[in-house]
Structure formats: structure tokens, C-alpha cells
Amino acid sequence: MSDHIQDEIIEQFQGLEWLEKYELLISFARELEPMHEQFMTEEYAISGCQSKVWIRTHIENGKLIIHLDSEAMITKGIIYLLMKVMNNRSPQEIVDLDLYFIEETGLKSNLSPARADGLASIIKRIREVAEMEIN
């Protein structure tokens, strides 16, 4: 199933060299709305990431609103994309969502469990939250 937000991202990354991809991610990172410092604590942290990542979520009109932040810029750029793709969907939609943009942008190598980046742990956490909302 394709969705236009992911397709648009894939297009933006098309044909870019690695460093250009990172430059793009850094520019996204600069647009990310920062999380309030009071939430940058262990309580909101996702473990398994080499750069710290924090997550806060709430439900608004039946949609899951996800807010992520990190201390590293490249991670921030990736979570900016995740938020763009995953936000404003129902918990069920999030559980069902195929995040094909990660593979097709070539960012997948940052997703492998061996990477300390822990993008996989972030996605896992979001899915867990969504599942909890469903039940």
C-alpha cells in the first residue's frame, strides 16, 4: 500500500549521495519542534539508542500524536520523518503501517538491530504504544 507522504520522502532522497542524505536529515532536524527539557528524562527515554531519544505520546480525536526528540542531529532528522509519516493516524493504522520509505530511502542501514542508533527500538516503542491504545 503506498501513501503519498512516504512517496514524497522517497523522492526527496532519490539519487542523493550519503553525505547529501545526511545534510537533508540535518535540515529536517532543524525543523523538529524541540521537546521541553522537563521531559528529557529516563522516564521518557527509549533504551537501545546510542544517541538518547525521548518519546511522548497522547491521543487526540482518536489519533495517536507522537512527539520524539534526540540529542543527535541525524537521529533527529530520521525521527522527524517518522513523525511526519506516523502522526495523526489511529492506533490501528499505525500498527498496520508499512514503513517502506525506510528501505527505499536507503536509511534502512540505520535501522538494523546491530546499529546502536536503535531506530528499530523507536519504531517498536511506537507500535507498542499504539497496541496498548487498541487494547
**Residues of this chain that bind other proteins (CB under 8 A):** 18-19, 22-23, 26, 50-52, 71-75, 110, 116-117
Q: Running DSSP on this structure, what letter comes out for residue 41? A: S
Closer CB to other proteins, 5 or 73, in the complex: 73
Q: Are 125 and 89 in contact (CB under 8 A)?
A: no
**Cβ 110 to other proteins, closest distance in Å?**
8
**DSSP per-residue letters across 49-92:** -SS-EEEEEEEETTEEEEEEEESSHHHHHHHHHHHHHHTTB-HH
**Cβ 17 to other proteins, closest distance in Å?**
8
Closer CB to other proteins, 6 or 75, in the complex: 75
Catalytic residues: 49
